[in-house]
């Protein structure tokens, strides 16, 4: 049984990975995607999106962080994968699932699921460019508009050399609308020999048990469910039906994320926006998060928000 924190652009950044892995229960992380177009990216780009490279590719809690690349040019992706490996990336993941229209218009992410041969060419080039001891993995959806080529895409990724496939159980067009089709993940698992990681619509312990049963996968990737309930991974590992941690135990983590974002960015709006964003997710598990969001909703500067967060802890 292994739990993976899903990559989510604009949500699961270094600060969020740090907080969630210190809460516990997570075995592996994947970065937000590093967008590759037509050039070898500078070191600073990799370090900005994967600062964990400076710590041996691990979070402060010691959890491994793979670097995810997104693009469509096999040679350019291969060159950048080799660069990431040289910087210490413990694994390279390839994004074939991003549903963002801007990304898809530029032939990145889920749009490539319409072209299994291109998937094969990309993975093959990246696998050849990366040292054998560094795993190359891929994340896919079930398709772009429909699921008709899901198995073909999975087999193309495997044939190219992907050593593991994470499968989000929806098409691009389905976005994040429930349900996720866990039975299709099972079909993909049965069609390839490499390990398959099940992903999509896991919010509770019951969801986790259901995705395991329906997909047949031993490893599960969780994104929004962990952001909305940071101790979900711990409760899954314990296999108990306990409620989420009390709000008073969650509060210090909110301040922790805010302070990290404040240090990491010179833009004073950033830590405020990130904190509001997270509270919007947390209110799914704690009504108190919604009340705190209302207290800071009209505040715009870190100097205004920090006293409110610290006052919250004193009560």
Catalytic residues: 98
- Give the other-Cβ count within 10 Å of 57's Cβ: 22
Q: Which residues contact 297 (CB under 8 A, 6 or more apart)?
A: 276
Is 290 labelled a binding residue? no
Q: What angle do CA 265, 269, 275 make, to 5 degrees?
A: 90
Around 82, how many Cα atoms within 13 Å sit in the side-chain half-sphere? 11
Q: Is residue 139 a known part of a binding site?
A: yes
Q: Is the dihedral of CA 256, 58, 26, 15 positive or negative?
A: positive
Cα 274 to Cα 3, 64, 242, 254, distances in angstroms: 24, 24, 28, 10
Q: Confirm or deny that 224 is annotated as ligand binding.
A: yes
Q: Is 24 within any annotated ligand binding site?
A: no
Q: How far is CA 263 from CA 200, 234, 258, in A?
A: 32, 28, 9
> Was 68 annotated as part of a binding site?
yes
Contact, 195 vs 161, CB < 8 A? no
Residue 58 pairs with which residues in a beta bridge?
A: 64
Determine the straight-line distance between the first and last CA of the chain, rounded to whole angstroms: 38
Separation between Cα atoms, residue 70 and residue 291, nearest integer Å: 38
CA neighbor of 134 nearest in space, from 191, 205, 83: 83
Answer yes or no: are the C-beta atoms of 142 and 175 closer than 8 Å: no
283 assigned to a ligand binding site? no
* Residue for token pair 């009390």: 246
260 is in an annotated binding site: no
Token digits for 30? 């994947």
**Annotated binding-site ranges:** 68, 139, 199-201, 223-224
**Annotated binding-site ranges for FMN:** 68, 139, 199-201, 223-224
């Amino acid at each position: 049984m292994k739990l993976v924190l899903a990559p989510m652009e604009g949500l699961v950044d270094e600060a969020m990975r740090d907080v969630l892995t210190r809460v516990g229960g997570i075995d592996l992380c994947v970065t937000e995607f590093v967008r590759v177009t037509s050039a070898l990216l500078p070191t600073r780009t990799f370090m900005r999106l994967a600062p964990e490279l400076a710590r041996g590719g691990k979070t402060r809690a010691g959890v491994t962080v793979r670097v995810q690349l997104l693009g469509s040019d096999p040679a350019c992706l291969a060159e950048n994968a080799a660069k990431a490996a040289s910087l210490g990336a413990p694994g390279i993941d390839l994004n074939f699932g991003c549903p963002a229209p801007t990304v898809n218009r530029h032939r990145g992410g889920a749009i490539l699921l319409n072209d299994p041969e291109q998937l094969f060419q990309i993975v093959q080039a990246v696998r050849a460019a990366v040292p054998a001891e560094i795993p190359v993995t891929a994340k896919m959806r079930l398709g772009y508009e429909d699921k008709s080529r899901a198995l073909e895409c999975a087999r193309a990724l495997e044939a190219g050399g992907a050593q593991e496939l994470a499968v989000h159980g929806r098409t691009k067009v389905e976005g994040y609308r429930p349900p996720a089709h866990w039975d299709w993940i099972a079909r993909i698992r049965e069609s390839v020999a490499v390990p398959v990681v099940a992903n999509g619509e896991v919010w509770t312990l019951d969801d986790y048990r259901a995705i395991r049963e329906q997909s047949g996968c031993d490893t599960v990737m969780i994104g929004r469910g962990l952001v909305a309930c940071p101790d979900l991974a711990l409760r899954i590992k314990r296999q108990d039906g306990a409620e989420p941690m009390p709000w008073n135990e969650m509060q210090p983590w909110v301040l922790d994320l805010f302070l990290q974002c404040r240090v990491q960015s010179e833009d004073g709006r950033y830590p405020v926006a990130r904190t509001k964003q997270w509270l919007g997710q947390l209110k799914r598990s704690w009504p108190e998060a919604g009340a705190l969001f209302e207290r800071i909703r009209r505040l715009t500067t870190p100097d205004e928000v920090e006293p409110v967060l610290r006052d919250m802890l004193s009560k």
